[in-house]
Amino acid sequence: MKNILFYDTKPYDKEYFEKFNSKYQIEYTDVKLSAKTAVLAKGFDGVCAFVNDVIDAKAIEKLYKCGVKVIAMRCAGYSNIDFKAAYKKINVVRVPAYSPFAVAEHTMALLLGINRQIHKAYNRIKEHNFSIVGLTGTDLHGKTVGVIGTGKIGKCFINICKGFCMKVLAYDLFPDKNAGLEYVSLDDLLKNSDVISLHCPLTEQTNRIINADAFSKMKKGVYLLNTSRGALIETEALLDALNDGTVKAAGLDVYEEENDLFFEDNSNTLIKDDVLSLLISKPNVLLTSHQAFLTREALETIAKITLSNLDAFFDGKPLENEVCYHCNGNNLENCIKNQNGRCF
């Protein structure tokens, strides 16, 4: 029986993997994968990791020396992996889609929350304060939403927005000509949107795509949503934009420095990240802790696809969900997976 070390385990992970696993001996640890903890994988055939594990060159070298042959990511994003270091040493598989609906619906929850200030209303009612002064929102009907990244999640979110009769502007590096969307330049999207929502991956190109320059092009009073990756936004510039009213409110599920904080109970810890503390202190910021994916359907699909990725790997079959230094998800023509079914 192959054995797998499951890093950064949360109770909901274990519940769903235990339900669907029959083939593997899985050891669960709540420790995150990093260069320091990679040594724990000695003697394991594979490891299972998540978005905030730090899978850099050092961690990969240690995993390789420990005999690990596969890293099974139980998520879609992979900006935390040094693919160059892993190439020809450890295969990396992922779950490209589990529930785009989960993330898109959470994005709309954030938009509705910041627009109608549900978080404030909830607190007021708890204190028997039934005043509605200061809670004025705006009709979303007829407003323009600019969606950056029109892949699986972006498209789901667009459909939800269309249900609210919003006008949609789209920007994507690879526009989908068959999607029936109005694609515009990034500048035009920034200039003309009442709501801006980020659904592109974190890459060198998209790192801090929303920076001071981008904020300077936005309509005054825009709503900003980010359920993608924290580093798409330069947080200090966002704080300035919130202070000067460029951004009326922000709904965020991710934060650029979230790694050591999100997913954990830090209620008895002094948070030393002053930028995050400032962000949290803003009444017009609704921040959730990277929970957009967290639905029963998504957890079930994550467990099933991760286990079937491991099956394909250990059975020597083609790895449909493999990502490598060359193909990095969608650049298949640079990768031998086309012919061989595996990246190496």
Known catalytic residues are: 229, 258, 290
- Binding of ligand NAD by 173 (CB under 6 A): yes
Whether the CB-CB separation of 176 and 170 falls below 8 Å is answered with no
- Give the one residue of 152, 248, 337, 342 binding ligand NAD; rule: CB under 6 A: 152
Whether the CB-CB separation of 293 and 102 falls below 8 Å is answered with yes
- Binding of ligand NAD by 179 (CB under 6 A): no
Distance CA 63, CA 89 (A): 10
Beta carbon of residue 260, minimum distance to ligand NAD (angstroms, whole number)? 17
Of residues 201 and 251, the one with the C-beta less far from ligand NAD: 201
- Binding of ligand NAD by 113 (CB under 6 A): no
Closest CA to 225 of 198, 207, 244: 198
- Give the one residue of 6, 7, 100, 256 binding ligand NAD; rule: CB under 6 A: 100
Distance CA 269, CA 245 (A): 32
- Binding of ligand NAD by 255 (CB under 6 A): no
Strand pairing report for 91-93 and 322-323: antiparallel
Give the other-Cβ count within 10 Å of 146's Cβ.
25
Q: Which two tokens stand for residue 142?
A: 């007829």
Beta carbon of residue 170, minimum distance to ligand NAD (angstroms, whole number)? 9
- Binding of ligand NAD by 342 (CB under 6 A): no
Beta pairing partners, 183:
170
> Site size for ligand NAD, by CB under 6 A?
31
- Binding of ligand NAD by 251 (CB under 6 A): no
Q: Which two tokens stand for residue 119?
A: 């978080």
- Give the one residue of 71, 148, 196, 343 binding ligand NAD; rule: CB under 6 A: 148
Of residues 8 through 67, those in contact with ligand NAD by CB under 6 A are: none
Point out which span in 9-17, 31-39, 194-202, 210-218 binds ligand NAD (CB under 6 A): 194-202
Distance CA 271, CA 256 (A): 15
- Binding of ligand NAD by 199 (CB under 6 A): yes
Point out which span in 2-10, 117-125, 203-211, 336-344 binds ligand NAD (CB under 6 A): 203-211
- Give the one residue of 210, 233, 279, 292 binding ligand NAD; rule: CB under 6 A: 292
- Binding of ligand NAD by 229 (CB under 6 A): yes
Point out which span in 59-67, 270-278, 290-298, 312-320 binds ligand NAD (CB under 6 A): 290-298
- Give the one residue of 111, 254, 299, 310 binding ligand NAD; rule: CB under 6 A: 254
Point out which span in 97-105, 116-124, 131-139, 256-264 binds ligand NAD (CB under 6 A): 97-105
- Binding of ligand NAD by 230 (CB under 6 A): no
Point out which span in 21-29, 59-67, 121-129, 150-158 binds ligand NAD (CB under 6 A): 150-158
Based on C-alpha coordinates, what's the Rg of the chain?
A: 21
Binding interface with ligand NAD (CB under 6 A): 76-77, 97, 100, 103, 148-154, 171-174, 199-203, 205-206, 227-229, 253-254, 290, 292-293
